[in-house]
Amino acid sequence: MSAREFRLPRGAILFTRDGFQYEFREDLGEVHHGLSLLLARRRTPEGSIRGKVLLKALGVPQLREMPRIKRARAKLEEQVRLATYLDHPGILRVHGLHKAEGCWYVITEHPSGNSISNLLTLVGECRRRFSALFTLHVGARVAEALEHAHEARDEQGRPLHIVHRALDVENLFVDWNGGVQVSDFGLALSDLPGRVSSTVRRPQGDAFYSSPEMLLTGRVDARSDLFALGNVLLELATGRNLLDASDDLTDEVKGTLSVRQRRRVRHAIKRAQLAGSPPMVADAIWRAATYTQADLEALTKPLPQGLRVTLLRLLQPRPDDRYQTARELAADLRRWLGEGAAYGKKEAVAELYEMAKRAHEELMVELGMRRPRGPQVPQDEFSTS
C-alpha cells in the first residue's frame, strides 16, 4: 500500500486494534518486496496518544499483481511468525499482523533511537568521529542481539538458523541513553517451517554492507551478518566503507583476478541486474572480489589495537577466517570494553551528548532528530586507545 497512491491525509485512521486507533502520520517510502513503510501513532478512543509505531503495508492488489502480492503477504506472515522467537531488548519487537479493508499491516515497535546513518551524517557535519570505544560499545550490543537471533530455536528445540541478511546503517539504532537496537528481520533467512524460499540469489539489503559470499554467490550463513556488522563499525570509526571504493576498481585491479574469478563476478552482476538491483551494485561486487589484506590493513591502520584487530577479523573475505559466531564476537568486544567497567552506557551517553551539542539545529531538524532531554552528562576526553 502506498500513502501517495491512496492519498491518505495526515491523521487518517487506518484501523482499530486492541482498543487503539492507528493514525497515519507519514509515508516513509517503499521497502523490500514492494511494501510501503508507514509511520503511525496509536490513540485511545478518548484521543490520548500512546506512542508511535511502524507499519509495513500491503494494499489491495489488482488481478495482474496477484502472484507478487500473495508472495509479499506470505513474507509478512513469515516475519510475524519469526518474530515470536526474537525476544531481546536489542531487537525491535513485532506486535502482529492486521488486516483491514483488504490491506495487510505488520505492526512494529518504533525505534527509540537514531539510525547510525543519521549519526554518521551528524558527526560528519561536525567534522568529528566517534571514539573507538564507542564503536566497540555499539558492536558489542549488536553482537549480543545477533547472538540471540542466530542461536534461536523453535518449540521442539530445533535451530532456526536465522540470518538477518540486511544489516546496515539504516537498520541499527542508537538512543541518547546509549541503548542499541537492531530492526527489520523482514529479509531474514531461516529454517522456519513453511517459510517462503528465495527464488533469486541477490543482495537482500544495501549491497555495500553485504558479505562477499552474498554478493558473489547468494549463499549466506550467520557469518555474513558478522561481516556486515564489521563494515558498519568500520564506517562508524573511520567514515569509510570497505565496499564503497569505486576509485580503486581500476582495470589493473580487476586484471588481478583469474579468468574464472572474473566470470563469476560478471555472473553475479547479471544476477543482481535481473533481480532489479541498482547499477551501483556492480561496483560493490567487483570490490568484494578484489579487495586485499593490504586494503584492510590500510583502512584500519589509524585505529587502536582492540578495534583494529576486531575489524581485521570481521572483514575477511572468506567466512572461515572471520569470527565464527556472534557469541564469540560479543565476548571479545566485552573484554576490550573491560566488561563495561572501562566504557559503558554512561560514557556512550556523554559522547552522544557532546555530539548533539555541537550539531547544527538545521541539520537536526532536517534529519528528524530531537536533541536529548534531561541533564547533560559531563564530557571527558575519550581515549581512542
Residue 33 pLDDT exceeds 80: no
Residues 34, 165 within the same domain: no
How confident is residue 379, by pLDDT bands cut at 50, 70 and 90? very low
5 sits in which H/E element: helix 3-6
Which residues, 6 or more positions from 280, have their beta carbon under 8 angstroms from its beta carbon? 207
At 63-77, the pLDDT tens digits run 445 566 777 788 888
Do 74 and 91 belong together in one domain?
yes
Report pLDDT for 76: 87
For the chain, the straight-line distance linking the first and the last C-alpha, in angstroms and rounded, comes to 49
Q: How does residue 383 score in pLDDT terms, banded at 50, 70 and 90?
A: very low
Q: In terms of domains, do 86 and 209 share one?
A: no
User: Looking at residue 42, which CATH number applies to its domain?
Assistant: 3.30.200.20
**Res. 240: pLDDT tops 70:** yes
**Does the predicted TM-score (pTM) go above 0.75?**
yes
DSSP code of 314?
A: H
218 and 160 in a common domain: yes
* 31 located within any domain: yes
Q: Which of 304, 322, 340 is the last residue of a domain?
A: 340
What pLDDT is recorded for position 309? 97
- Give the angle subtended at the CA of 107 by the CAs of 2 and 67, to the nearest 5°: 50
- Residues 136-142: what's their mean pLDDT? 98
Q: Residues 371, 121, 3, 209: is their CA dihedral positive or negative?
A: negative
Can you say whether the dihedral through the CA atoms of 168, 266, 189, 199 is positive or negative? positive
Does residue 350 lie within any of the structural domains?
no
- Band of pLDDT at residue 313, cut at 50, 70 and 90: very high
68 and 188 both lie in a single domain: no
**Cβ contacts of 249 within 8 Å, gap of 6 or more:** 283, 286, 287, 290
- pLDDT (0 to 100) of residue 127: 83
Does 33 share its domain with 176?
no
Q: Is the pLDDT of residue 324 over 80?
A: yes
Does residue 381 surpass a pLDDT of 60?
Answer: no
Residue-level pLDDT at 61: 58
Beta bridge partners of 180: 174
Decide if pLDDT at 350 tops 90: yes
Instruction: Note whether 100 and 14 are within 8 A (CB).
Output: yes
Give the pLDDT confidence of 149-189 residue by residue, as tens digits.
Answer: 999 999 999 999 999 999 999 999 999 999 999 998 988 99
Q: Are residues 104 and 118 in the same domain?
A: no
pLDDT at 196: 64
> How many domains, in total, are found in the chain?
2
Cell 581500476 found at: 250
Provide the domain limits for residue 182: 114-340
Banded pLDDT at 382 (limits 50, 70, 90) = very low
The count of other CB atoms within 10 Å of the CB of residue 27 is 19
pLDDT of residue 257: 96
Burial status of residue 314 (CB atoms within 10 A of its CB: 0-12, 13-18, 19 or more): buried
**What would the pLDDT profile of 99-125 be if each residue is shown by its tens digit?**
998 889 999 999 999 999 999 999 998
**Does residue 20 sit in the same domain as residue 148?**
no
pLDDT given for residue 374 in this prediction: 62
Q: Residue 163 corresponds to which cell in the numbers above? A: 540470518
2 has pLDDT over 80: no
Q: What percent of the chain has pLDDT over 90?
A: 70
Same domain? For 194 and 53 the reply is: no
Name the percent of the chain lying above pLDDT 70: 89
Whether residue 338 has pLDDT greater than 50: yes
182 and 78: one domain?
Answer: no
**Cα–Cα nearest to 135, from 210, 241, 229:** 229
Kindly report the number of other CB atoms within 10 A of residue 129's CB atom.
Answer: 18
Range of lowest pLDDT (103-112, 248-257, 369-378)? 369-378
pLDDT for res 329: 98
Asked if residue 380 has pLDDT above 50, the reply is no
Span 205-217, average pLDDT: 92
Would residue 380 count as lying in a domain?
Answer: no
In this prediction, residue 305 has a pLDDT band, given cuts at 50, 70 and 90, of very high
